Structure 1
Amino acid sequence: MGLTATKAKAARRGVAKSRGGRPTRDAAIERDQRLIEVATRLFLERGFDATSIDAVAETARVSKPTVYAQYGDKRGLFTAVLRREIARWLAPLAAAATEMHLDHPADCSVEERLIDLGRQLLTLNCSADSIAFSRILTAQAINFPDVAKLAVDEGWSKAVSTTADFFDHLAACGALDLEDTTIAAETFLNMVVGHTHRMATFGIPIDMASAEKRMEVSIRLFLAGAVGPPDRLRGTAKTRRRPAR
């Protein structure tokens, strides 16, 4: 009777138990994913300070010791949430860089490719969730400088590095003429999403149609300097190496 009650309790929790009493591997993965999903939602809805481990554990249907064992404390939990969000924000850049490694070229111009990338970056970085995370990070940067550093190292710096890799390949095939692809990447990201994201973080309403027009004009300005002289022979473009970071 006791065993039946234990199984029923485990089922209600949504976590299958192994014979030794611990969750199975699949159940543990499902539990951790649910925990991160719940933590993300609560952090976004309530902010960092108003979100408690108690609330996360109760909503995710896990025990407080489980949360502490996995993440140490609330800062560790927020760091895990942030890492997952950063990976999501970087996905379009990673996909664009990967595409450049393929043997066959894309059936679109450099401008079209950059505008498509810019549109994806705008959508992700100016979403309500992205803006909420930006505000939380700004508010907590002084209290938790290591979390702010993580956002820079794994977020901004990786975005710049991935974009620079993308530009390296465009320069190698003669599509762009760039003196320093890292500086070009920083400039591109600031031009495309920096202003709009900053205004949204300040609480200024954003009209996405206007934001997209601004992004397209910015990309054309960027390309005016990055493509080089109109009569430049693409086949003789000099490949420039990216300075070590």
Structure 2
Amino acid sequence: MPAKRGRPTASDRAERRERVRAMISRILIEQGLSALTFDRVAEAARVAKRTLYDDFGDRAGMLRAAVERQHRYLHADPPVPDDLVDAAIALSADLLRDEAVALQRAVIAAAADHPEIAAEFYASGPRAARRFLAARIRSGDPEGDAEALLSLLLGELHRRRMLGVSPAPDAAEITRRARRAVALAVGAASR
């Protein structure tokens, strides 16, 4: 099949961006933050370094893209409903997956030496997750209640996942945990 000539279509650009984001995640997970360089990503993803700079700007931008890829619920099509239980299920399903857990391990391993990367991860990941939940909470303190809910959703299971001692939960387990966490968080907030 001959190579295409001319400007890539919007569809081609979206496919390329997703392929590059997947490669960034793979490099981070398999080789760590020190391996995340524009040269390595460009070679592995078969794109020009200039394309990477245009799309991501810098290394923090590449990390942000990898983290956003783990938070699929933020950009779901169709969007996740405003129902808090549906939101909790979508968030939990994404963040308890093997790839999301492995990416977080890689960032934590580098956090002490690269606090700017840890800050970028937190802003793109946990803070975005908390805001996603807060937008669906109708209480006097939606940010505080969202923080509590996020802790209940991930909590001990996430810790076990991070340590590699528990497998990813199935859909039924995620749904059960999300319903319980919402009941506990919303129930506590309404007292």
The bucket for the TM-score relative to the shorter chain is: 0.7 to 0.9
Whether contact under 8 Å (2:38, 2:52) holds in the other structure is: yes
- How far, CA to CA, are the matches of 1:28 and 1:189 in structure 2? 34
Q: Secondary structure of 1:166's partner?
A: coil
Structure-to-structure mapping, 1:27-176, within 5 angstroms: 27-50=12-35, 53-68=38-53, 70-71=55-56, 74-86=59-71, 88-91=72-75, 95-97=80-82, 114=85, 116-168=86-138
- String of CA shifts for 1:84-131, please: whole Å, max 9, x gaps: 334x15357x6233x6xxxxxxxxxxxxx52x4433332211100110
Using the size of structure 2 for normalisation, the TM-score is 0.73
Q: Percent identity?
A: 25
- String of CA shifts for 1:184-229, please: whole Å, max 9, x gaps: 111111112233212211222147369545554443333432344x
Specify the alignment match of 2:5 in structure 1: 17
Give the alignment's Cα RMSD to 1 decimal.
Answer: 3.3
- String of CA shifts for 1:39-82, please: whole Å, max 9, x gaps: 23333333333455444333322234544555455554333322
Using the size of structure 1 for normalisation, the TM-score is 0.60
Gaps of 5+ in 2: none
Whether contact under 8 Å (1:79, 1:147) holds in the other structure is: no
Specify the alignment match of 1:219 in structure 2: 182
Whether contact under 8 Å (2:64, 2:121) holds in the other structure is: no
> Which amino acid counterpart does residue 5 of structure 2 have in structure 1?
K
Q: Secondary structure of 1:95's partner?
A: coil
- How far, CA to CA, are the matches of 2:93 and 2:132 in structure 1? 18
Higher relative contact order structure (alpha carbons within 8 Å, sequence separation ≥ 6): 2
- String of CA shifts for 1:150-170, please: whole Å, max 9, x gaps: 2222322232223222112xx
Gaps of 5+ in 1: 1-7, 100-112, 169-177, 229-245
- String of CA shifts for 1:2-35, please: whole Å, max 9, x gaps: xxxxxx5xx1xxxx332xxxx4454555433332
Cα gap change, 1:146/1:83 in structure 2, threshold over 3 Å: closer, same or farther?
farther
